[in-house]
Structures are given as C-alpha cells and as structure tokens.
Copies of this chain bind each other. A is one copy, B any other.
Amino acid sequence: MSLEPLPGISTAEMVAQRIRDAILEGTLRPGDRLIEADIAAELGISRGPVREGIRLLAAEGLVVLRRNRGAVVASPTFEDILEVYVVRKGLGSLALQHAISLDVATAPEFDDALVLLDRLRDPEVQADPLLMMDADLAFQSALFDLSGLERITSVLDQTARDIPVFVRVLGITYDSVDHAALIERHDHLVEAIRTHHRDAALRAWDDHIRSTVGEFSRGYPDAQIEGIFELPLMHHILDHSSHL
C-alpha cells in the first residue's frame, strides 16, 4: 500500500492550472503576455517554477513562446479546435478498439469510469456548463486509460486539458447541449465496450464527436467558419465515418 504525498502535484503544474483558470475566468485573454516576474509575485513564489509551468502550457499549445521574448496566451481559431477534435476522434477510436480487445470490462478501472459517467447525471453538475464539460472529459479519459496505450492516452489527455480553454477563448456557447442525449450516447458506448461490440462502440464514439463539433458549429459566428466546411478537416469529423 502506498500513500502518495498529499499535494501529488508539482508547483509547476499548479502554476499551469492557475493560468488555465485565469484564461477560463477571463482574467487572461488571447494575446496577453505572461510575465514570469509578475506571475511569480502574484503567487508568492520565485520565477523558476513559474517558468516551468509556462513551458508546460507551451507544450500543450495553450501559450506561444518566442525565444527571448516570453510567452503570450495563444489565439486559437475555430480550425484549431477542429484539429483537436480530429485527433480525439482518430486516436480515441483506436484506444477504444484496443480496450475492447483486452476484455477490460471486468477490470476495476472499468467501474471507475462508470462512476465518472454517473457524475454527468448529477443535477448540480448539469447546472454548470464548465463542470459538465470537465466531468465529460474525465469520463472519456478514464475510458481511454483502459487501453493501456500510454503514449496515445497522453496525447488525448493533453487535448482534453485544452478543450475548455479553447471553448472559452473562442466564445463558443455550449449551453444548449442536450444532456440527456449526451449521457445516452455515453451509455451506448459503455454498453458496447462491456459486450465487446467493437463496431457499436466506434459508432457511439463517432456520434459523440460529431454531435459535439456540431454543437460548437451552431454556437459560433458563421462568418469565422467560412470555408472551414470545405476542408477535409471538417469533412472528416462530420461526414467520414471510417474507423481510423
């Protein structure tokens, strides 16, 4: 039995999370500079860990940094979030396939995922779009973990951390989402995994991605997604249903 040190999270990661939160609550906006000394002073620590935290965000693509010129909050476009979703679609379906082939429905981790799915049914969670999104992504992440594909799940987790920020920054409205339909799709996915129905699982996953991106597209100013629908990126997400 191991008792991990309670923090469990490094100072740099805390810094990164604080900056993510600041973007989510609007304190930081795209294009804003991240000045190491200022952030360090604000958090009451020194520049070292702050610098490290900023580099973590840069690896995720949430901030852009140029040599000797510091970091600025990234200005993602609608196409950026499509890139994120096309990665999630492709790598996600592979992870799910793999998990199913491992007969993972009997593992205790599978039940952990179910608990996370139940969180989506909590009215308190449903009341807050941000909580809802976090819970949704946490559930998905738990499913991917079942595959044991560490490198692929690592990429997926990286995209998951970015999604709420991107949605916020892009001004996408996610309020109109149909919670019942979302949960039903996830139930289908879980059931397909439990019963080893590979094709049903991949269909459920495709449905989820398509619905989510479709939701985003509705809540986004038409002018700024002009032309996007002509690109294979969008085409792939919405129309193409081949399974990686």
Which one of B8, B231, B242 lies within 8 Å of A67 (CB-CB)? B8
**Do A232 and B101 have beta carbons less than 8 Å apart?**
yes
Q: Is A94 an interface residue (CB 8 A)?
A: yes
Per-position binary interface string of chain A over residues 201-244, scored 1 when its CB falls under 8 Å from any chain B CB and 0 otherwise: 00000000000000000000000000000111100100010111
Q: In the bound complex, what is the Cα–Cα distance between A242 and B236 (angstroms)?
A: 13
**Do B232 and A97 have beta carbons less than 8 Å apart?**
yes
Q: Is A152 an interface residue (CB 8 A)?
A: yes
Q: In the bound complex, what is the Cα–Cα distance between A244 and B155 (angstroms)?
A: 17
> Using Cβ atoms and an 8 Å threshold, which residues of chain B touch A195?
none
Q: In the bound complex, what is the Cα–Cα distance between A98 and B244 (angstroms)?
A: 16
Interface residues on A, range: 35 or more
Closest-CB distance, A214 to chain B (whole angstroms): 19
Per-position binary interface string of chain A over residues 138-157, scored 1 when its CB falls under 8 Å from any chain B CB and 0 otherwise: 00000000000111101100
Closest-CB distance, A200 to chain B (whole angstroms): 15
> Using Cβ atoms and an 8 Å threshold, which residues of chain B touch A67?
5, 8, 10
Q: In the bound complex, what is the Cα–Cα distance between A215 and B94 (angstroms)?
A: 23
Q: In the bound complex, what is the Cα–Cα distance between A48 and B55 (angstroms)?
A: 13
**Do B61 and A154 have beta carbons less than 8 Å apart?**
yes
Q: Is A52 an interface residue (CB 8 A)?
A: yes
Closest-CB distance, A86 to chain B (whole angstroms): 6
**Do B94 and A91 have beta carbons less than 8 Å apart?**
no
> Using Cβ atoms and an 8 Å threshold, which residues of chain B touch A8?
67
**Do A98 and B152 have beta carbons less than 8 Å apart?**
no
Q: Is A22 an interface residue (CB 8 A)?
A: no
> Using Cβ atoms and an 8 Å threshold, which residues of chain B touch A134?
none
> Using Cβ atoms and an 8 Å threshold, which residues of chain B touch A242?
242-244
Closest-CB distance, A9 to chain B (whole angstroms): 9
**Do A59 and B59 have beta carbons less than 8 Å apart?**
yes
> Using Cβ atoms and an 8 Å threshold, which residues of chain B touch A87?
91, 151-152, 155
Per-position binary interface string of chain A over residues 47-87, scored 1 when its CB falls under 8 Å from any chain B CB and 0 otherwise: 01001100100010100000100000000000010011011
Closest-CB distance, A209 to chain B (whole angstroms): 13
